[in-house]
């Protein structure tokens, strides 16, 4: 049986490494790896292969023989011609696509939730309510004290939601309202387990009352289409709609003292 040449083995290892990095690691396991990182790894792998074959003279000769044969051996003339045509064509195609490629706009930076400044004073219009860390939903205590009263606040929150919010945030609070497609970034999805349980009610109050224009300068651009609701809704209406969000989705807001 014919032995596979050392060159072929090296070549196959090289290709396999590339496929592994690009598609297995980059595609299946994590997010796609940038091309520059792949290039760096490939350079390392190439050096490793070269070091391996050049450690012993015999091994190096074995490695170099197929190249040598292809270049000069009379019996290998077909292979030579094929390579002489193929390599320049590949190079031609590669440089052409690189040069003619259209420039694409940079994607917007990843959407994360804004962090409010520490010791942030919560306000509604100009009225101070307290610091973000301390303010609680003034109607939350009814949940235990007076379920009927609590229910009426939730129902009021429901009306506020469907009079104002559902066009973007959706009938089902899933961020799929019939206007949602008009906005970048997309409206928040309250059914996402990463939203309500991660924030305090006071944080929601801040985001609702101040909207997109009220976001901190740090970490811009937000490009949020969230209106400044304090111009339309009263303080009570905002707290009620916050109650409704957790009532409908079944998620609880993060409470004070829980680790961040």
Given the rule CB under 8 A, which residues bind other proteins?
Answer: 68, 71-72, 80, 83-84, 87-89, 91-96, 99-100, 102-109, 158-159, 161-164, 166-168, 170-172, 174, 176-179, 181-184, 211-213, 217, 220-221, 223, 225, 227, 231-232, 248
Of the pair 135, 188, the CB lying nearest other proteins is at 188
The H-or-E segment that residue 226 falls in is: none
Q: Which residues pair with 130 in a beta bridge?
A: 122
Q: Which is nearer to other proteins, 46 or 87 (CB)?
A: 87
CA nearest to 156, candidates 239, 246, 250, 251: 239
Nearer to other proteins, 24 or 90 (CB): 90
Cβ neighbour number for residue 206 with a 10 Å cutoff:
24
Q: Is 137 helix (H, G, I), strand (E, B) or coil?
A: coil
Peptide bond into 221 cis (omega under 30): yes
Whichever of 75 and 102 has its CB closer to other proteins, that residue is: 102
| H/E element, 122 | strand 121-124
Beta bridge partners of 121: 131
């Amino acid at each position: 049986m014919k032995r596979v040449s050392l060159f072929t083995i090296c070549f196959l290892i090289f290709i396999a490494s590339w496929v592994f990095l690009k598609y297995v690691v980059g595609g299946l396991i994590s997010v796609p790896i940038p091309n520059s990182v792949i290039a760096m790894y490939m350079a390392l792998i190439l050096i490793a292969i070269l070091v391996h074959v050049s450690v012993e003279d015999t091994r190096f000769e074995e490695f170099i023989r197929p190249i040598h044969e292809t270049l000069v051996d009379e019996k290998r003339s077909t292979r030579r011609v094929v390579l002489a045509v193929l390599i320049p064509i590949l190079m031609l195609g590669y440089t052409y696509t690189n040069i003619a490629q259209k420039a694409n706009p940079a994607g917007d930076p990843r959407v994360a939730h804004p962090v409010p400044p520490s010791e942030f004073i919560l306000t509604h219009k100009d009225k101070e309510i307290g610091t973000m860390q301390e303010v609680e939903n003034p109607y939350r205590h009814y949940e235990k004290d007076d379920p009927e009263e609590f229910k009426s606040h939730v129902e009021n929150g429901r009306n506020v939601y469907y009079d104002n919010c559902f066009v973007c945030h959706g009938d089902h609070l899933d961020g799929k309202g019939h206007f949602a497609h008009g906005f970048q970034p997309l409206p928040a999805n309250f059914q996402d387990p990463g939203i309500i349980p991660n924030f305090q009610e006071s944080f929601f109050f801040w985001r609702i009352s101040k909207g997109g224009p009220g976001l901190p300068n740090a970490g811009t651009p937000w490009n949020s289409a969230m209106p400044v609701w304090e111009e339309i809704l009263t303080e009570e209406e905002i707290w009620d709609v916050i109650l409704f969000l957790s009532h409908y989705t079944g998620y609880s807001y993060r409470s004070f003292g829980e680790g961040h």
